[in-house]
Each structure stands twice: as C-alpha cells, then as structure tokens.
Amino acid sequence: MIRALIFDFDGLILDTEGPIYRSWTEVYEAHGVALPFELWVKTVGSSNQAFHPQHHLEERLGRPLAEEVINRRVERRIELVLAQALLPGVAERVDEAGAAGLKVGVASSSSRDWVNGHLQRLGLLARFDCIRCRDDVEHVKPEPDLYLAVVDCLGVPANEAVAIEDSPNGITAAKRAGLLCVAIPNPITAGLDLRAADLRLESLAEVTLQELLDRLSQTK
Ligand SMILES: [Mg+2]
C-alpha cells in the first residue's frame, strides 16, 4: 500500500533545469567556449561536485572569470527561473495525495532557501508534510540519503513511498533508498537514460493520482 508521495524539486515541480543550463551556456558562448552537454548533465539532480561549470570554463580560459560575470550569471538564472510556471499537474497531484490521506514530501539536492523560497512563492509550501534538502544530509543524490531522510520524517516505510523524479541522479537515489519511482522528464533530461524508474510519464497532468498508482502497481 502506498502511503507517501515524494517529489523532487528542480525540473519536476518547476523547470529550473532549462534556465540554469541556459544561464551557463550564455556565459560560455560569450567566451567562445562550448559547454559539453554530457558534462553538464552530471550536475542535473545532484550538485556541482560532479561537474563545476565555473571551474571548467576557467580551466579552458586559463584565467578566473570576472566577479561581474559570475554575479550576472546568477541574476540571469533567477530571471529565467522566475519566468517559469509550475509544471502541469503538480498542484493537482499534490492536492489529490493530501485528500487521499497520503503523506506528501519533497527531496531535493538543492538548498533549503532555494526550494522553500520557490515553493512559498508558488503557494505550495504549506501543502508538504516534510521537505529535506542538501542542508539536511551528508550526501545529495544519487546517494539515497535525501529519500531516506524524507521517509523517516514522514514515518513511512521506503517501499510504501513513491518518488517522482526527472533525472537519472534522482531516480538512482530513490531506487537506492528502496522507493518506487516515476520518471517525468523535461527537455534537459528527456534524452537521458531513465530506465531505472518503475514507470515513465511525459507529464503529471496526463494521469490522476489514482491512475498513476494503478499503473505503478501493474509494473510489479
Ligand atoms: Mg530534478
């Protein structure tokens, strides 16, 4: 029996992945250097430990980036992210889960300020029973720590929880923690290997919560 639904944040609740990638490709292009997508995707769902876009560009240029360039990139990222709407079906599935008596959580490799700030702005913060971010654990995704922290906080066994993820790093984290996992790709992650997930949907708007759970139970 499924007792909890746990959402990733970046690229799943809000499409921050496209904006973050674009904010960096603009800086790379301005310096005449290509940003290799295969290196970039290591960061998706995880952290800059796997690939550091600033350090990589500085190595290629043989000099540090100007502080002004770095600050402008951060501003540009925020500007692009703020232009994004909540992804389709997220609010509806969160509400259905709450109404059905399921616990609802968020597991994110991003900082608490980033996740809570956006959820507050989108009017969703109070609808989650528990949110765990990189501030709360030793290791971000693809390690299982974040999902284990959320199921512990929700008081639900891992195998009775469903993770909803957009990236290979997130899916690996959820499966290592023992959760069921639904993959919902965005333009950045659509071409990556998401086969470790139990089910793949194109959008959270294409199913009701009950349909999602029914389809998941048919995969076992
Ligand atoms: Mg993600």
Radius of gyration of the chain (CA): 17
Question: Separation of 210 CA from ligand 1 center, angstroms?
Answer: 23
| Full pLDDT tens readout for the chain, 220 residues | 999 999 999 999 999 999 999 999 999 999 999 999 999 999 999 888 889 999 999 999 999 999 999 999 999 999 999 999 999 999 999 999 999 999 999 999 999 999 999 999 999 999 999 999 999 999 999 999 999 999 999 999 999 999 999 999 999 999 999 999 999 999 999 999 999 999 999 999 999 999 999 999 998 6
Question: Separation of 9 CA from ligand 1 center, angstroms?
Answer: 6
Q: Are residues 89 and 99 in the same domain?
A: yes
Q: Which residues, including other chains, have CB under 8 Å from residue 217's CB and lie 6 or more apart?
A: none
- What was the pLDDT predicted at 50? 87
CA 28, CA 54: separation in Å to the nearest integer?
Answer: 9
- What was the pLDDT predicted at 220? 67
CA angle 148–152–158, rounded 5-degree value: 60
Annotated catalytic residue, options 8, 129, 145, 166: 8
Which of 82, 114, 135 is where one domain is finished? 82
Q: Are residues 113 and 172 in the same domain?
A: yes
Question: Separation of 119 CA from ligand 1 center, angstroms?
Answer: 15
8 noted as active-site residue = yes
136 noted as active-site residue = no
Q: How many domains are contained in the chain? A: 2
Q: Which residues pair with 163 in a beta bridge?
A: 6, 181
| Domain that residue 27 falls in | 17-82
Helix, strand, coil percent content, the chain, rounded in steps of 5 = 45, 10, 40
Question: Separation of 126 CA from ligand 1 center, angstroms?
Answer: 21
Q: Are residues 10 and 52 in the same domain?
A: no
Q: Are residues 100 and 75 in the same domain?
A: no
Which of 82, 103, 137 is where one domain is finished? 82
- What was the pLDDT predicted at 26? 97
CA 186, CA 194: separation in Å to the nearest integer?
Answer: 11
Q: Are residues 109 and 198 in the same domain?
A: yes
Q: Are residues 36 and 68 in the same domain?
A: yes
**CATH for 214:** 3.40.50.1000
Specify the 3-state DSSP secondary structure of 138: coil
Q: Are residues 172 and 205 in the same domain?
A: yes
